[in-house]
Each structure stands twice: as structure tokens, then as C-alpha cells.
């Protein structure tokens, strides 16, 4: 059996374990949440976001499904309600600061804040073996800066909790610094981004700014950037880096006001984002996001997961 076959077998075995775990209900001592626990999910009208909303609602939380397209969001709520699930909808464009501000005001007035934030909204314009950076600005603006804006806007609204409030960022293995493939070949930049103690917003922003400038002048192919899904990979690398940075900053909060922030890779999922060419179902892709949202261990923060297992950045 070759390495690819072995890897495929390991992945399938792990997915079978997770399918079994999902059939086991949470025990009373694990269920720290209730109907008063508020979870906000961005990009919840389809794909992984929709499934995360469905699973969290099935666990008995108050789930606020958000989407940029209000019509699509309302239709998604109707589908879930037909399945006997009760969710709330609110329009939210994570690229638009005024939309975020309106959402913040509405959330505070109606729910007093939130307990869980799942940053799922994202875009990708490359399918198959394509690697165009024509939409690089849009990809970076949505996937990184939109996610960053949501985190910054929601942190003041996170409710105190004995298990810590939760932020879950949907990311990708394509954005790993230490992946065997698709990694940054600029050694100096790689070392800077790898050092969590010296990691800063300025470094992350400058990295993206340099990449986008090179996209504009056509020199990006020799810039040492990831060679596959380059713009998407860079946007998720930035999400991963920001997750580590915020975990470091938020760790200074006192007991009762802790915030657990983690990211995870859902795998290659059969959704519109992948042109429905993925290997995993949406249920499998959503699983680790839901699992992280419901963890009761506040010490689990600043980490990267896939299939309920920690992987390196």
C-alpha cells in the first residue's frame, strides 16, 4: 500500500470514529450550555455554515444565522424550521463596517451579547487546479479582514462564563506554515510568522499588503508564496496567525472572562466553495466546528484542529 492509500485509509478510519462520536449524546456534566446560550454563525445560509447552525440548534442553543444575502438567509431559516429547529436570522455583511455595527447594536439590544462566535463566511474563486489571483483582493478582504472585523466587534459582547466564551474560525490546511506542501518558501518571513511571541497585526497586515502589491504588479509568482490556491491559502494563513495572536492577548483575561479562540480545517467538503468536488460531507465538515464551540475546557485556545485532533500551524 502506497503513502496516499495509507493516508486515505487513516482519514477514513478517523471519520468513522467521529461518526460514532456524533451518535453519543453529551452527558449532563458536559452540557454547560442552555437555550439562553447564544451562538452567532457567519455565512450560515449554505454549506458548512448552514450545517453548523443546524447542529448547534439541535443541541438546544439559541442560534443566530447570518448571511450577506438576506433572501438566501431567510430561505435557510425556513428549511431549518421545517426540520423542527428554531433559529433566528439577521443580515450581516462582514466586509461592511456599517452592517457589522448594525448587527452589534441589534445583538446587544435583543440578547445582551453572545457566548459563541463561529466565523465561517468566506470565498474562494479557484476550482480544481486553477490558481488565478484575479480576485485576490476580494478573497483577502472577506476571509481575513472580514473575520478580523467580526472578532474585534464581538469580543466586547462576549458574555462571562465559567468555561470561557468561544470563538471558532473556519480555516484550512492550505494556510499552514508547517505543511509539507503549499508553504511559504521565503524563509525569513516564514520564521517571523512562526514565532508566536513576536507575532503582530502589523506583520500579518504587511504580509498581505506585500502579496497584494505583487499581484498588482505581476511579480507574485516569484514572491515565495504558496503555489496552490495562492490567494485563498494566504487569507487562511492570516486567519491562523490572527487566531494565535488573539489567543495570546486574550489569555491575560481574568477567570470568568476567558475567551477560547481556535481555528479548524473542515477538510475538502462537498460545497459550492469547492464546486461540490470535495471528499467530505457537510456533516463531517461542520463537526469539528461544533465540537470546538461546545468544549468545556477553557485551556484549549490558540490551537488548530482537523477531525477533532490538534494539528500544527
Cα–Cα dist 245/14, whole Å? 30
pLDDT at residue 275 above 90? no
Residue 150 located in a structural domain:
yes
Confidence of residue 1 (pLDDT cuts 50, 70, 90): low
Residue 105 located in a structural domain:
yes
pLDDT value for 189: 96
- 152: Cα within 13 Å, side-chain hemisphere: 13
pLDDT at residue 297 above 70? yes
pLDDT value for 227: 92
- For residue 122, give every residue at least 6 positions away whose Cβ sits within 8 Å of its Cβ, in sequence order, or none: 43, 142, 143, 147, 170, 235, 273
Confidence of residue 273 (pLDDT cuts 50, 70, 90): confident
pLDDT value for 13: 86
pLDDT value for 51: 98
Going along 165-206, which residue ranges are E strands? Answer: 165-170
Average pLDDT along the chain? 94
Cα–Cα dist 311/276, whole Å? 25
Residue 3 located in a structural domain:
no
pLDDT value for 34: 96
pLDDT value for 85: 98
Q: Catalytic site residue 145?
A: no
Catalytic member of 89, 144, 232, 264: 232
Distances (CA, A) of 127 to 130, 230, 232, 273: 6, 12, 11, 8
Percent of the chain scoring above 70 in pLDDT: 99
Domain tally, the chain = 1
pLDDT value for 22: 86
Residue 193 located in a structural domain:
no
Residue 46 maps to which CATH number?
3.40.50.720
Cα–Cα dist 45/220, whole Å? 34
Confidence of residue 293 (pLDDT cuts 50, 70, 90): very high
Residue 212 located in a structural domain:
no
- Answer yes or no: are the C-beta atoms of 33 and 115 closer than 8 Å: yes
Q: What is the mean pLDDT of residues 148-169?
A: 96
Query: Whole domain around residue 124: which residue ranges?
Result: 14-19+32-181+228-311
- For residue 118, give every residue at least 6 positions away whose Cβ sits within 8 Å of its Cβ, in sequence order, or none: 39, 40, 41, 42, 49, 52, 56, 168, 170, 289, 293
- For residue 238, give every residue at least 6 positions away whose Cβ sits within 8 Å of its Cβ, in sequence order, or none: 140, 143, 144, 175, 204, 207, 208
The three three-digit cell numbers of residue 281, written as one number: 460531507
Residue 24 located in a structural domain:
no
pLDDT at residue 5 above 90? no
Min mean pLDDT across 21-30, 51-60, 63-72, 239-248 is at: 21-30
Give 131-143 pLDDT, tens digit per residue.
Answer: 999 999 999 999 9
pLDDT value for 9: 85
Q: What is the mean pLDDT of residues 277-281?
A: 80
pLDDT value for 8: 79
Residue 222 located in a structural domain:
no
Amino acid at each position: 500500500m502506497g503513502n496516499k492509500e495509507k493516508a486515505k485509509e487513516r482519514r477514513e478510519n478517523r471519520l468513522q470514529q467521529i461518526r460514532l462520536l456524533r451518535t453519543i449524546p453529551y452527558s449532563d456534566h458536559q452540557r454547560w450550555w442552555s437555550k439562553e446560550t447564544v451562538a452567532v454563525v457567519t455565512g450560515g445560509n449554505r454549506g458548512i455554515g448552514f450545517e453548523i447552525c443546524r447542529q448547534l440548534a439541535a443541541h438546544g442553543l439559541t442560534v443566530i444565522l447570518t448571511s450577506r444575502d438576506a433572501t438566501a438567509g431567510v430561505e435557510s431559516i425556513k428549511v431549518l424550521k421545517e426540520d423542527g429547529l428554531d433559529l433566528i436570522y439577521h443580515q450581516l455583511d462582514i466586509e461592511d463596517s456599517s452592517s457589522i455595527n448594525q448587527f452589534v447594536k441589534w445583538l446587544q439590544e435583543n440578547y445582551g451579547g453572545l457566548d459563541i462566535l463561529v466565523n465561517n463566511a468566506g470565498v474562494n474563486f479557484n476550482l480544481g487546479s486553477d490558481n488565478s489571483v484575479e480576485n485576490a483582493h476580494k478573497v483577502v478582504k472577506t476571509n481575513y479582514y472580514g473575520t478580523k472585523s467580526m472578532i474585534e466587534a464581538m469580543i466586547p459582547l462576549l458574555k462571562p462564563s465559567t468555561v470561557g466564551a468561544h470563538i471558532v474560525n473556519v480555516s484550512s490546511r492550505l494556510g499552514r506554515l508547517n505543511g509539507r506542501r503549499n508553504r511559504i518558501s521565503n524563509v525569513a518571513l516564514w520564521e517571523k510568522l512562526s514565532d508566536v511571541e513576536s507575532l503582530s497585526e502589523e506583520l500579518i497586515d504587511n504580509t498581505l499588503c506585500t502579496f497584494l502589491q505583487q499581484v498588482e504588479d505581476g511579480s507574485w509568482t516569484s514572491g515565495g508564496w504558496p503555489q496552490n490556491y495562492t490567494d485563498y491559502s494566504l487569507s487562511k494563513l492570516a486567519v491562523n496567525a490572527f487566531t494565535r495572536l488573539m489567543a495570546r492577548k486574550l489569555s491575560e483575561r481574568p477567570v470568568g472572562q476567558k475567551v477560547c479562540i481556535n481555528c479548524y480545517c473542515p477538510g475538502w467538503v462537498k460545497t459550492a466553495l469547492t464546486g461540490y468536488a470535495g471528499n467530505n460531507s457537510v456533516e463531517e465538515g461542520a463537526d469539528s466546528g461544533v465540537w470546538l464551540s461546545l468544549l468545556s475546557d477553557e485551556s484549549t485556545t490558540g490551537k488548530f484542529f482537523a477531525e477533532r485532533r490538534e494539528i500544527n500551524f
